[in-house]
């Protein structure tokens, strides 16, 4: 006995379903719910996500039992709408749409006006006394069905329409009459025969099952797979299919269709935001084939548009819509994204879902909704995607600089970006692979472009509104976007676009500002962002709930300052080698490395010492009473050696040696596998004088801070790449010896602790023995991932994607911690270390310290802190609060 898998929107069994969304998909669940709230929803039914799985197991065919259920529900709709499917007097027309459990805007297929054929189109024409409308609906159906089910490119049909309009001398589709559409329908059918060697199907049942199958198949389309991969949506979820009675926005001037948000999805302002088109179908608004009008009078006036807003053109329907917006927001307790149609002045609701929004809007909406008592502080924190916060901390255009503005469009997704112009998603992806910034320029983006939109720094389209595919996807990805820029004319053939008198070719640089909709020639400098009061409020709330401390990885005064401003509670990783690459110092570093004798080496170290001391002093002062973990020299020495002839000669002169001697010494130091070579604590064992100089610099910096009465940081000295307890014992003794020496000399007590970085599997397994000599463990998960998986981070780009595609890894293990392997080693080391040493402090300082999923794992293990790059600090603060709340 099979479970019930087909449900009408008003089915009483829906109420009893557990996890409705997983079975009915988001769209179906919300349609049923809107019906229950008494809103006007056209009758329809849902084919559940379970059928998607059955369909794929059944060789991509619908089983006869399910076909029977569908036909039963179809009879139901016929009864409710008093129309009959395929009838020659009063035909029922339906739409077939996808509905995954999480909204995937534009990623899967939709077919409207299904049930039209050469005969029913005449019946529709008679019934509505509107031949133009009937033929317009038929040509749309042929176009969509051919694209979705028969796989014929939509542009081929668009070209036929454009050419026809040119011949007739008209600009807009709405200027074509019934006989024009008749001619085009004939051309469309000929195109289908030419492309697919079949006639357009006239049997309405064949149309229906073709459409349902196509929606299930679109779950596995390339664009849907890419979207799922980018948003970590599991492949096995599948999609539901919604079959619904058609209502028409294209029957004349008392009809319209629109998309609206209950608040502004770009800024979060509490004001209705949306667009509509008179005499059109929903796809026209979303696909951006016509540039739509504003819903509210206020928005119309602000944009300087002369065309009437919906509030002015359809005041009665607008008032009704306004009440529905308020009702839906109260019910769902979130900002809603709504699709509606008006047929002969009657309003119908076609969809509601939680709206995609920018990071800035998400924060404002969450804080406002707490003030409005719609949601709690906890819910507000859980609603914001930590990964999107970084977009708020990034630059906007410098107002003071002269800009050459060549075009403007709609400000669809905020932020500023400069890059080379590319006209295809593939080119954007290719250049991104070569570390080049690009701006993807398209007439309108389609879901096929998703990989290029992700690779580009920004998106510019010449058609489409604020609710078009480009706008919605860009906002979700945090990419700046300017849409519907009618000022630009794009020519894909010659790979250039024209804006007024300017011609911009592929590869030339432009800047777009998604906040103002402006397009500029060349690169425009940017300025540091202003952090809003709403942002600070959310951060304050997050700090109330989180247990995990958040530190930063920084070794310059500038980075330290930024991290403090973003709320860092200390430094979890200060890499001392970064201080060596300064031009003034690199020569002394090279002298130190290339010296043959200890006395020569000490002379070079003496020169480096004051520089290191000043660096530490700056950082300790900025970190004002907070912990700073200083990692002693870690990379292999050859990284500092001269590469060019000129540099070799300079070092030779400074050491009074011949260039050949220097080259021989460089060859001597060469390593086959430096990553596992003479580095980290191994350098400290071989050349203790290097670590002695670094410790002296640290302790003297602390002494100077004390003498100047400035509140200094608490130094935590970290020994890298330890794999045995003895390495740590020997080097801890060295640190203590230098500390004692400095304290006696200055008659001052210095506060410091010594710990190690756990970045080798053996160290994790030997944590009990190692923790005898450690006050803290910091997990260096970048290297721990490399040494555990035996994968070099620098070379993994060539094959890691294949591993993710084959589900060997769910995600790149250098981005999100591999919980089963690397994670288990972290857990083992934490447990064994703390068993031996109850006071052992535990933290993580790899890139994973800024990844929300990894932070949740650290919180679960009970680590004391995570450390990440300065711009990720707010991300980590929010993710740590969410991890705590989810526990």
Outline where 333-483 has alpha helix (H): 359-371, 377-383, 425-433, 450-455, 469-477
pLDDT of residue 643: 76
CB 569 within 8 A of CB 549: yes
First to last CA, the chain: 39
pLDDT of residue 320: 96
pLDDT band for position 582 (50/70/90)? Answer: low
- Residue 695 a catalytic site member: no
pLDDT at 230 over 90: no
CA atoms within 13 A on the CB side of 408: 9
pLDDT at 277 over 80: yes
The CA distances from residue 621 to 190, 615, 630, in Å, are: 78, 10, 14
Residue-by-residue DSSP string for 260-305: EESS-TTT--SS-EEEEEES--HHHHHHTSS--EESSHHHHHHHT-
CB 848 within 8 A of CB 834: no
d(CA 493, CA 23): 45
At 708-740, the pLDDT tens digits run 988 888 999 999 999 999 999 999 999 999 999
CB 414 within 8 A of CB 471: no
Q: Long-range contacts of range 650-654, CB-CB < 8 Å, 24 or more positions apart? A: 650/587, 651/587, 651/590, 651/591, 651/594, 654/587, 654/591
Choose, from 294, 451, 454, 469, the residue flagged as catalytic: 469
At 856-865, the pLDDT tens digits run 999 999 999 9
pLDDT of residue 617: 94
CB 833 within 8 A of CB 767: yes
The residues, any chain, with a CB within 8 Å of residue 852's CB and separated by 6 or more, are 386, 387, 875, 878, 879, 882
pLDDT band for position 681 (50/70/90)? Answer: very high
Averaged pLDDT, 315-323: 96
d(CA 814, CA 822): 11
pLDDT at 868 over 80: yes
pLDDT band for position 785 (50/70/90)? Answer: very high
- Token pair of 370 as six digits: 């707490």
Locate the DSSP E strands across 435-554.
Answer: 438-442, 458-461, 481-483, 488-491, 496-499, 502-505, 509-513, 518-521, 526-527, 549-553
**3-class secondary structure, 52:** helix
Q: Long-range contacts of range 16-23, CB-CB < 8 Å, 24 or more positions apart? A: 21/101, 22/49, 22/101, 22/237, 23/48, 23/49, 23/50, 23/240
**3-class secondary structure, 717:** strand
d(CA 635, CA 666): 16
Mean pLDDT of the chain: 92
Strand partners, 491: 496
CB 100 within 8 A of CB 93: no
Cβ-count burial 22-56 (b if 16+ within 10 Å, e if not): bbbbbbbbbbbbbbeeebebbbbbbbbbbbbebbe
CA atoms within 13 A on the CB side of 790: 0
Averaged pLDDT, 577-599: 81
d(CA 446, CA 285): 13
Q: What percent of the chain has pLDDT over 90?
A: 70
CB 804 within 8 A of CB 811: yes
pLDDT band for position 287 (50/70/90)? Answer: low
pLDDT band for position 527 (50/70/90)? Answer: confident
**3-class secondary structure, 415:** coil
For the ranges 12-16, 106-110, 211-215, 541-545, the lowest mean pLDDT is seen at: 106-110
pLDDT of residue 291: 76
CB 695 within 8 A of CB 703: no
pLDDT of residue 815: 83
d(CA 464, CA 469): 8
pLDDT at 301 over 90: yes
- Token pair of 667 as six digits: 């060859």
d(CA 403, CA 406): 9
The residues, any chain, with a CB within 8 Å of residue 685's CB and separated by 6 or more, are 727, 730, 731
pLDDT at 772 over 80: yes
pLDDT of residue 583: 65
Judge residue 144's burial from the number of C-beta atoms within 10 Å of its C-beta, 0-12 exposed, 13-18 middle, 19 or more buried.
buried
pLDDT at 476 over 70: no
CB 142 within 8 A of CB 200: yes
Averaged pLDDT, 456-462: 95
Averaged pLDDT, 829-849: 95
**3-class secondary structure, 92:** strand
695 vs 104, which has greater pLDDT?
Answer: 695
pLDDT of residue 286: 67
Maximum pairwise Cα distance, the chain: 104
d(CA 715, CA 750): 9
pLDDT of residue 725: 98
Residue-by-residue DSSP string for 93-142: -EEEEEEESS--TTTS-EEEEET--TTHHHHHHHHHT-HHHHHHHHHHHH
d(CA 687, CA 710): 34
Minimal CA–CA distance to 172: which of 348, 312, 318, 307?
307
Averaged pLDDT, 376-401: 85
pLDDT of residue 240: 97
d(CA 571, CA 550): 9
The CA distances from residue 298 to 8, 58, 256, 267, 308, in Å, are: 39, 54, 20, 16, 11
pLDDT at 830 over 60: yes
Judge residue 584's burial from the number of C-beta atoms within 10 Å of its C-beta, 0-12 exposed, 13-18 middle, 19 or more buried.
exposed
pLDDT at 105 over 70: yes
pLDDT at 448 over 80: no
- Region of residue 169 (phi > 0: left; psi between -120 and 50: alpha; otherwise: beta): left
Residue-by-residue DSSP string for 563-588: HHHTT--SEEEEEGGGGGGSHHHHHH
- Token pair of 647 as six digits: 């540099």
- Token pair of 825 as six digits: 């080693």
pLDDT of residue 557: 83
- Residue 845 a catalytic site member: yes
Averaged pLDDT, 31-38: 95
Minimal CA–CA distance to 630: which of 619, 614, 645, 646?
619
Outline where 723-813 has alpha helix (H): 725-746, 761-765, 767-770, 781-789, 800-805
Q: What percent of the chain has pLDDT over 70?
A: 98
Residue located via tokens 């990034």: 394
State phi, psi for 404 to the nearest 5 degrees.
Answer: -100, 95
At 369-387, the pLDDT tens digits run 999 999 999 999 999 999 8
Choose, from 705, 845, 858, 868, the residue flagged as catalytic: 845
pLDDT band for position 615 (50/70/90)? Answer: very high
């Amino acid at each position: 006995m099979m479970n019930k898998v087909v449900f009408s929107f008003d089915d009483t069994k829906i109420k009893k379903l557990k996890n409705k969304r997983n079975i009915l998909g988001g769209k179906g669940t919300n349609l049923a719910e809107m019906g229950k709230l008494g809103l006007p929803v056209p009758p329809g039914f849902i084919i559940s996500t379970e059928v998607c799985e059955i369909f794929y197991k059944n060789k991509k065919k619908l089983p006869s039992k399910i076909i029977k259920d569908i036909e039963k529900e179809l009879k139901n709709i016929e009864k409710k709408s008093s129309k009959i499917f395929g009838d020659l007097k009063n035909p029922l027309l339906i739409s077939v749409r996808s509905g995954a459990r999480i909204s995937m805007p534009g990623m899967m297929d939709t077919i409207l006006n299904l049930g039209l054929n050469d005969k029913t189109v005449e019946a529709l024409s008679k019934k509505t006394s509107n031949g133009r409308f009937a033929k317009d609906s038929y040509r749309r159906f042929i176009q969509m069905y051919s694209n979705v089910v028969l796989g014929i490119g939509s542009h081929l049909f668009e070209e036929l329409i454009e050419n026809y309009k040119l011949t007739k001398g008209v600009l807009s589709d709405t200027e074509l009459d019934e006989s024009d559409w008749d001619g085009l329908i004939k051309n469309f059918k000929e195109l289908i025969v030419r492309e697919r060697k079949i006639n357009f199907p006239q049997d309405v049942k064949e149309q229906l099952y073709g459409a349902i199958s196509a929606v299930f198949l679109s779950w596995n389309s390339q664009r849907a797979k890419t979207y799922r991969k980018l948003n970590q949506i599991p492949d096995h979820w599948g999609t539901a299919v919604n079959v619904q009675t058609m209502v028409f926005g294209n029957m004349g001037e008392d009809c319209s269709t629109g998309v609206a948000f209950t608040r502004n999805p770009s800024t979060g302002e509490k004001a209705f935001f949306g667009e509509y088109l008179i005499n059109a179908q929903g796809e026209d608004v979303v696909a951006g084939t016509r540039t739509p009008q504003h819903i509210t009078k206020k928005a119309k006036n602000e944009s300087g548009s002369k065309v009437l807003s919906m509030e002015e053109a359809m005041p009665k329907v607008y008032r009704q819509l306004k009440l529905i917006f308020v009702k839906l927001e109260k019910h769902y307790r979130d900002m809603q994204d709504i699709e509606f149609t008006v047929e002969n002045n009657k309003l119908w609701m076609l969809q509601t879902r939680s709206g995609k929004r920018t990071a800035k809007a998400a924060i404002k909406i969450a804080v406002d909704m707490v003030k409005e008592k719609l949601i709690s502080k906890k819910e507000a924190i859980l609603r914001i995607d930590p990964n999107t916060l970084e977009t708020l901390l990034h630059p906007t255009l410098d107002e003071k600089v002269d800009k050459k503005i060549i075009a403007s469009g709609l400000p669809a997704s905020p932020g500023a970006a400069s890059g080379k112009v590319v006209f295809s998603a593939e080119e954007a992806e290719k250049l991104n692979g070569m570390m080049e910034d690009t701006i993807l320029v398209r007439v309108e983006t389609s879901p096929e472009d998703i990989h290029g939109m992700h690779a580009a720094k920004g998106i510019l389209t010449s058609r489409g509104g604020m609710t078009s595919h480009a706008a919605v996807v860009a906002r979700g990805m945090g990419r700046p976007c300017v849409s519907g820029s009618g000022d630009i004319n794009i020519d894909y053939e010659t790979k250039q676009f024209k804006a007024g008198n300017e011609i911009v070719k592929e590869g030339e640089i432009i800047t777009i500002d998604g906040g103002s909709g402006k397009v500029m020639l060349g690169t425009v400098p940017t300025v540091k962002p202003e952090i809003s009061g709403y942002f600070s409020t959310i951060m304050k709330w997050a700090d109330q709930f989180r247990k995990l401390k958040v530190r930063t990885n920084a070794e310059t005064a500038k980075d330290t300052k930024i991290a403090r401003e973003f709320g860092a509670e200390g430094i979890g990783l200060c890499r001392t080698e970064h201080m060596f690459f300064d031009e003034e110092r690199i020569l002394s570093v090279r002298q130190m490395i290339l010296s043959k004798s200890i006395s020569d080496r000490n002379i070079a170290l003496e020169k480096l010492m004051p520089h290191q001391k000043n660096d530490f002093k700056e950082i300790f002062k900025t970190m004002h009473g907070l912990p700073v973990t200083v990692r002693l020299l870690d990379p292999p020495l050859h990284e500092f050696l001269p590469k060019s002839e000129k540099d070799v000669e300079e070092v030779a002169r400074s050491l009074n040696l011949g260039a050949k001697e220097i080259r021989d010494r460089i060859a001597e130091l060469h390593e086959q596998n430096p990553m596992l070579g003479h580095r980290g604590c191994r350098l400290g064992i071989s050349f203790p004088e290097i670590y002695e100089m670094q410790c002296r610099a640290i302790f003297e910096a602390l002494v100077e801070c004390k003498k100047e009465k400035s509140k200094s940081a608490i130094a935590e000295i970290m020994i890298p790449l330890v794999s045995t307890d003895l390495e740590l014992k020997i080097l801890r003794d060295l640190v203590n010896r230098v500390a004692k020496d400095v304290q006696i000399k200055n008659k001052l007590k210095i506060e410091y602790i010594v710990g190690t970085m756990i970045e080798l599997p053996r160290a994790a397994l030997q944590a009990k023995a190692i923790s005898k000599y450690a006050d803290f463990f910091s997990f260096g998960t970048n290297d721990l991932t490399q040494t555990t998986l035996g994968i070099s981070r620098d070379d993994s780009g060539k094959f890691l994607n294949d591993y993710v595609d084959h589900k060997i890894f769910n995600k790149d293990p250098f981005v999100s911690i591999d919980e089963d392997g690397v994670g288990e080693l972290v857990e083992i080391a934490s447990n064994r270390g703390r068993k031996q040493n109850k006071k052992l402090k535990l933290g993580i300082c790899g890139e994973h310290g800024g990844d929300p999923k990894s932070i949740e794992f650290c919180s679960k293990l009970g680590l004391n802190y995570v450390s990440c790059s300065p711009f990720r600090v707010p991300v980590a603060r929010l993710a740590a609060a969410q991890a705590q709340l989810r526990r």
